[in-house]
Amino acid sequence: MSPKNASAEQDVASLAEQLRMVVGDFVRSVRSASATASTAHTETLAFLYRQGPANIAQLAKARQVKHQSMRLVIGRLQQLGWVELHPGRLDRRSQEVALTPAGKRAVEADMASRSALLSERLASRLDAAELETLRQALGLMARLSQP
């Protein structure tokens, strides 16, 4: 490998690490400032909101956690009244998890809270040129988000 290629690879690796750190800090900052529920709860509710009812195995796979861990999350969300279990559509012996109306309202309130916080930060911290740069970066981030 030539020194030029090695340097380019180091630059990309450094950029990747900086991106990982900044995105992580950004997500934690927004969640903290908007009083978002725990990650496990938020991500599970968001999945159900976007995808519709799913069984526990599907939820565990989507969140890359063990079945038992997802059962605990679902149990807590049931206690909060945000999800309910129904017999499976394809296999009546299995159970599907679905958002309740209260769960849907909780997800929508959470999204609205984070959007309002982000809108305020964008308006108060970035000028027009920076907003345009961010708009362009969103397209790149969307491409990086694809498998």
> How confident is the model over 87-103, as pLDDT tens digits?
877 777 788 999 999 99
CA distance 32 to 62: 24
CA distance 117 to 125: 12
What's the pLDDT score for residue 88? 77
- Which pTM does this prediction carry? 0.74
Both 73 and 103 in one domain: the answer is yes
Both 21 and 68 in one domain: the answer is no
What's the pLDDT score for residue 2? 57
Mean pLDDT of 58-87: 94
Both 24 and 41 in one domain: the answer is no
Both 52 and 2 in one domain: the answer is no
Both 26 and 67 in one domain: the answer is no
Both 111 and 93 in one domain: the answer is yes
- pLDDT tops 80 at residue 80: yes
CATH code for the domain in which residue 65 is found: 1.10.10.10
What's the pLDDT score for residue 92? 73
Non-local CB neighbours of 45 within 8 Å, separated by 6+ positions: 37, 77, 82, 83, 99, 103, 106, 107, 110
pLDDT tens-digit series, residues 50-69: 999 999 999 999 999 999 99
Both 62 and 12 in one domain: the answer is no
Please state the length of the chain: 147
CA distance 105 to 101: 6
Both 95 and 42 in one domain: the answer is yes
Domain that holds residue 26: 1-33
pLDDT tens-digit series, residues 15-64: 899 988 988 888 888 877 877 666 888 889 999 999 999 999 999 999 99
Both 47 and 29 in one domain: the answer is no
- Total domain count, the chain: 2
- CA distance from start to end of the chain: 28
